[in-house]
Amino acid sequence: MRIHKIMMATLSLALCCSCSDLLEKKPLVNLAVENYYTTEGEAKTALMGIYHVFMTENFGLYHYLHLGDNLSDDSQLGNSRSDGVAWAGNAKSLIQFNILPTNSYSGNNTWNQDFQVVTNANYLIESVTRNNIHNADKYIAEAKFLRSYVYFDMARQFGGLPLVDHVLTYEEYYKPRATEDETWEFIEQGFRDAAEGLPETWDAANIGRATKGAALAMLARTYVYHASHSKKQEDWQKAYDTIKELEKGNWFSLEPRYEDIFDMEHQNGREIIFSIQFRTSHTGWGDSNDGNMMSFYGHDAGIKLADLNKSTTTLTPDQYEFVCKKLLEEFPSNVNEDGTPKPYLKKWTGWSLHCPTLDLVNAFEPGDPRLKATVIAPNEFYDGHTHFNLSSDSGYQSKKEYVPFSYRTEESNEDDLPRNMIILRYANILLYMAETCCQLDKTGEALDYLEEVRGRARRSGDDPSALPKVTTTNKEELLEAIYHERRVELAMEYDRYWDLARTGRAGKVMKAYYQKYGNDNTHQYKGKNFIEGTHEHMPIPQAAITASYYQGVQTLEQNKGY
């Protein structure tokens, strides 16, 4: 496979042939571009097709659940995951940092899916340009935003990347990796271009599409990652200037109460900068984001009355025992007044991919209301049901991803759980700004931005003495306070590991976690084999490395240590 093959043959939206067919054929490069999208309607359909990639099952599972949190000290795989299952074994090897380039979860799906977006975006950009389509500038800006977003996603996972900003000719299929600095600069330019052409708002029918503010926010985020890598003050200054520009737009603000962010009624509230919208037209697995960010995965999400007679199929014997004895006898909340069990007895984790750790729970300060908004505690009565995570060693579930039963139908309880995937929200930007100010020795400003987030959390609870203001002006102490705030404010929002890696703390934190919790199989030996200087990035997929050989020369270089 060459790069065009690695990119998943993304002409599939327009050509009536299978992916396997496309993988065996040379892509119709420049010859097809001028005739590819010839009307604005076709261009819009193509653009929506790019967004569709983000709505697939694989996007959630592989981009966020298994990596952003599960690699970290905040989340774990449930104990129901067996090493005898191929995908589960791959997932466990990741969290143990026993990572091979052949592990499909270490990047194969990310690489393929993200380059699918890159290819589709490039075809769209060149088509609307050549065909002088109405509103071409807006389509180009939006395509550049989406292309830059997936490059950002890949850069923090892999480091330097092949940079593809146009439809490739045959001679360009074997592009080498750019340096990490060059990659961050490429992403930055894409977001700058997007910010110039994107609208400030969309009407209700187009909620969820990228905006000027989202592009500036992602640009600032990229500068923070670049600065963390380069250690250059000029890169921190660029982050600072961009966030100041973002603030002038007044497009985003914090929700007054922390818990409201994750309320179903606030999914597109003022705090949300960019999110993947839930799509209701579900037609099968992998066709929509169908709640796949749930710790309790959409499938097998609840125990129904009918399941009580399915101990050999739907429920394991142990789960059946739990249902019969614990739920019906010990938890009266699951029983109607006449003694009959309620239709939905209990919410439990089906696939258990995203379970909060006890270490995360213990990281919250006393009285921090964000804890209750982040996790559902074992045996907690919530949403009319008593909860216990059957798969988690701690018994905790992620509340941020919980969908109340009032939003479910008989069908959606198993599949379409209407929850958007939050990619970036305003509190994250404020904490980036606190960190940026600290790195620029603007400690007074850093404290102000930190307090903006911390104060909102304090006001969300009942104890005005909780979460006292941070007052230290010592740079290292202040940075640690900001890092702590990022952990608890953004807990279970898929960024924890990338934060640890970018700030150079991943080795220290994961080794400490292994010593404290992970040195027994109960915690799946989490963090066991972490190597500093290697595991901050994932390996380039072996399939991509193998495909990169051209005239006997390997054009894609593997990451150090793999």
What are the pLDDT tens digits along the chain (562 aa)?
Answer: 333 333 333 333 332 333 333 223 333 344 455 667 889 999 998 998 898 888 765 565 545 556 899 899 998 876 544 444 445 667 788 888 999 999 877 777 788 889 989 999 999 999 999 999 999 999 999 999 999 999 999 999 999 999 999 998 877 888 999 999 999 999 999 999 999 999 999 998 899 999 999 999 999 999 999 999 999 999 999 999 999 999 999 999 999 999 999 998 899 999 999 998 875 544 433 333 333 333 333 223 333 333 333 333 344 444 444 444 444 444 445 456 665 555 444 433 334 567 889 999 999 999 999 999 999 888 788 887 777 666 666 778 888 888 787 776 555 444 456 778 899 999 999 999 999 999 999 999 999 999 999 999 999 999 999 999 999 999 999 999 999 999 999 999 999 999 999 999 999 999 999 999 877 766 678 899 999 999 999 999 999 999 999 888 999 999 999 9
Q: How many angstroms separate the first and last alpha carbons of the chain?
A: 21
Q: Residue 460's pLDDT is what?
A: 97
Per-residue model confidence (pLDDT) at position 325: 43
Tell me how many domains the chain contains. Answer: 2
Structure tokens at 27: 């892509």
Q: Cβ neighbours of residue 320 under 8 Å, at least 6 residues apart?
A: 308, 311
At 210, is the secondary structure helix, strand, or coil? coil
Q: Does any domain span residue 142?
A: yes
Residue that terminates a domain, selected from 419, 437, 457: 419
13 belongs to a structural domain: yes
CA 301 vs CA 123, 290, 354, 356, 410: distances in Å: 39, 12, 13, 17, 11
Which of 393, 419, 445 lies at the terminal end of a domain, its last residue? 419
Structural domain includes residue 274: no
Length of the chain equals 562
Domain range for 140: 3-181+537-554
Q: Which helix (H) or strand (E) holds 422?
A: strand 421-425
The verdict on residue 391 lying in a domain is yes
* Residue 319 falls inside a structural domain: yes
Residue whose entry in the numeric block shows the structure tokens 């995908």: 87
In a domain, 196, yes or no: no
- Asked whether residue 248 is assigned to any structural domain, the reply reads no
Same domain? 541 vs 413: no
CATH number at residue 44: 1.25.40.390
Whether residues 415 and 541 fall in one domain: no
User: Is residue 464 included in any domain, yes or no?
Assistant: no
Last residue of a domain, one of 359, 388, 419: 419
d(CA 481, CA 512): 19
